[in-house]
Structure 1
């Protein structure tokens, strides 16, 4: 088994991309070499990949959207342009839906792509999303590799412990290549190489 290399300027882009690095490691590397350290894990990865292969330091422009304060939110209020999940919005939805409300990713995307519709429609959409989640597994965005791995582990291994899943994940992320769960990852549970 090849050990995961330390993230440094000595790596080439392809080797870098073939291993798993935590966002904290990506941020630290960006700061060490003078790369912009804003954005999510995917954009940090692309910036580092470009730097390691070409030496170029990509700049990210800040396209901050202007938000509009619509005042008091009611069911008849219209979802504003450039919607941002604020405490004001959270308070409104908790009041209407109940204390169990939370901004899940699918609902946030719905809100951002339905400018001009009423908050009454948003409440209906929230309930529909919650019903669909009961029936089908929620899609996990690509940057959440750990979450995807753990879910797939448990789908294939009913009755195993979270500690088993984490041990397999730690083993897998240290390997070169993809970080998706495979049944062969279970071999690490019989070995005493990962704590």
Structure 2
């Protein structure tokens, strides 16, 4: 098995993209090379690859979004434009829905796409989303390679343990190529 190379500025972008690096490793590299550390894993990967190919440091200027002081929330308050999850929102939803409340991606997206509707409608949407999650498989975003891998592993190997899945994942992320589950990854636990 080929060892995963250290992430250094001597690495070329093609080789860099063939291996899996944790977001923390990407951020640390960015700090060392004075690259912008903001954004998700995909943005960081693209920024680093560009730097490794060209030596150019890309800077993305975040668009300023007008922040609204939401004040006191009620069920009849309207969802503000440019919705941002705040502690005020979290406390409101925990009070109305209960301590089990959490901002999941689907609900955050619903809130961002439905400004002008009421928080009463948001609470109803939250309950619908939670109910749908019981019966329908949620889509895992592209940047969550580990979660996708583990789900696919268990789809193919229902009798295996999480320890087996993690061992296969660790094997997979240290070899060049994609990070999607393949049955041949089981070699990591069979040998």
TM-score between the two structures when normalised by the length of structure 1: 0.93
- 3-state DSSP of counterpart to 1:137: coil
Aligned equivalents of 1:61 and 1:48: distance in 2?
17
Partner residue of 1:85? 85
Following superposition, the deviation at residue 83 of structure 1 comes to 0.9
Matched, 1:47 2:44: no
Following superposition, the deviation at residue 74 of structure 1 comes to 1.1
Following superposition, the deviation at residue 30 of structure 1 comes to 1.1
Following superposition, the deviation at residue 79 of structure 1 comes to 0.2
Aligned ranges 1:1-195 → 2 under 5 Å: 1-191=1-191
Aligned equivalents of 2:67 and 2:56: distance in 1?
33
Aligned equivalents of 1:9 and 1:125: distance in 2?
47
Point out the more displaced range, 150-159 or 61-70. 61-70
Following superposition, the deviation at residue 66 of structure 1 comes to 2.4
Please, what is the CA RMSD of the aligned residues? Answer: 1.2
Aligned equivalents of 1:101 and 1:8: distance in 2?
41
- 3-state DSSP of counterpart to 1:121: helix
Following superposition, the deviation at residue 185 of structure 1 comes to 0.6
Query: Where does the alignment leave 5 or more consecutive residues of structure 2 unmatched?
Result: none
Deviations 1:28-70 (A, max 9, x none): 2112222111222111101001011111110121324222113
Equivalent pairs counted in the alignment come to: 191
Point out the more displaced range, 103-112 or 28-37. 28-37
TM-score between the two structures when normalised by the length of structure 2: 0.95
